[in-house]
Amino acid sequence: MDQKILWSFLLLFFGSQASRTVAQKSAEFAVDLYKAICFSHKNNIIFSPLGTTVLLGMVQLGAKGKAQQQIRKTLRLQESSTGEEFSVLKSFFSATSKKKQEFTFNLASALYLQEGFAVKEAYLHGNKESFQSAAELVDFMDAKACAETINTWVENKTDGKIKNMFSENDFGPLTRLVLVNAIYFKGDWKQKFRKEDTEMTDFHKQDGSTVKVPMMKALLRTKYGYFSESFMTCQVLELPFKSNEFSVVIILPAKGMSIEEAEKQVTARHIQRWLSELHEKEVEVSLPRFKTEQKLDFKEVLYSLNVTEIFNGGCDLSGITDSSEVYVSRVLQKVLFEINEDGGEAATSTGVDIPAIMSLTQTQFLADHPFLFVMKHTQSESILFMGRVTDPDIQTMNGRDLDSL
């Protein structure tokens, strides 16, 4: 496979003219994944397309026949495998690992297989080489001990930020293979918000009710765009982190348009065009402080994208193990994402005071109602996180999102 195709596999927005067609397909995969998740989740959403790519890549590496074909089709890869599809992913990990002093980005991925099945040495090597992922044997029959083992591993890999990812109810006697990744990011804004400017403000929820939330405020010079389409009007704002390695893009539909309707209408092509047309200007930004932690089981989502074979008994995972009894039981991801005045944890504030009286021509970006967001790696355009905020007051997703999946 041509390396441009590999590169575009991680791209959401741009690329050279020669690779844009494939980049568009990758963007469509990310948006399709987002929409599939939205279908079954009504509140805040946060997930990692990059992490999902790693999980599917880990299975694809050892899958054959129909199982492999479905994954490759969903990821927009060529039908035949050359073994080089994920080389750019390795380059991304290498690039980010060299700059860990400027930010914290932890992507912990692992494959857990029931004891008694042997993992092939070639797969162990390829999995570690391509995805920096582990492959371990555990006893799912001892569900409590298994949950403790995996939780400890995840906690260690995410600097203690993601805890208690699993409970003993997550495993059973029929569990064979579980794919896991946990993602945590911490970084400082290039232009921080002053904590003393944050004030409690009404946030208008989708159901018409309001909730008081801490609204961060600052006058920033950053990339901004206002777009009026036939199907929606929206503002788009890009906020870079320190060193310009990463940025958060916020898509704010006009008031009066439901977030559900916006999600139905927005396509990857729209996002690509909007991002390409942003211009730097001075913007009065009001953005709610929020923290979202979410655990998702991607089985239902992948089913909706026609990745079904890997979950069936008798699927061909012979690249992982010789046993014909192995199939994927669960594909789980947990993400911790926080937006605050510093961008990450405490640091010296250097934001600009907002004048008491603003010019009538001043551009305002007031995120006081539901919005979408994308966090990306600036150089490679790799999508770390995607999501939506419908209620910044919700600190942790409960119920189905965290505990019952």
pLDDT, residue 361, reads: 46
pLDDT of 215 strictly over 50: yes
What pLDDT shows up at residue 80?
A: 62
So what's the pLDDT on residue 330? 94
Task: Return the percentage of the chain with pLDDT > 90, whole number.
Answer: 49
CATH code 3.30.497.10 region(s) in the chain: 3-187+292-337
Domain 3-187+292-337: which CATH number of 3.30.497.10, 3.90.1300.10, 1.20.1260.10, 3.90.550.10: 3.30.497.10
User: How much is the pLDDT for 139?
Assistant: 94
Q: Which one is predicted more confidently, 174 or 76? A: 174
Residues whose CB is less than 8 angstroms from the CB of residue 203 and which lie 6 or more positions away in sequence, other chains included: 210, 211, 212, 213, 215, 288, 368, 369, 391, 392, 393
Binned at pLDDT 50, 70 and 90, residue 22 comes out as: very low
| Percent of all residues in the chain with a pLDDT value above 70, rounded to a whole number | 80
- Give Dmax (Cα) for the chain: 71
- Mean per-residue pLDDT for 359-364? 68
Given this model, what pLDDT does residue 13 score? 38
List every span in the chain annotated with CATH 2.30.39.10: 195-290+340-389
- The label of the residue with tokens 């911790």 reads 336
How far is Cα 84 from Cα 2, in angstroms, rounded to an integer? 9
Q: What is the pTM of this model?
A: 0.86
pLDDT at position 2 is 45
pLDDT tens for 58-95 read 999 999 999 999 998 898 876 666 556 666 666 677 76
Three-state secondary structure call for residue 217: strand
Instruction: Put residue 343 in one of left, alpha, beta given phi > 0 → left and psi -120 to 50 → alpha.
Output: left
Helix (H) or strand (E) holding 253, with range, is strand 246-253
The per-residue pLDDT for 188 is 87
Please write the tens of the pLDDT for every residue from 225-266: 999 988 889 999 999 998 788 899 999 999 888 888 888 888
Contacts of 23 (CB under 8 A, 6+ apart): 8, 11, 12, 13, 14, 15, 272
Q: Which CATH class is domain 195-290+340-389?
A: mainly beta
pLDDT in tens, 285-322: 999 998 888 999 999 999 999 999 999 988 999 999 99
Alpha carbons 230 and 255: distance in angstroms, whole number? 15
pLDDT tens-digit readout, 131-156? 888 899 999 999 999 999 999 999 99
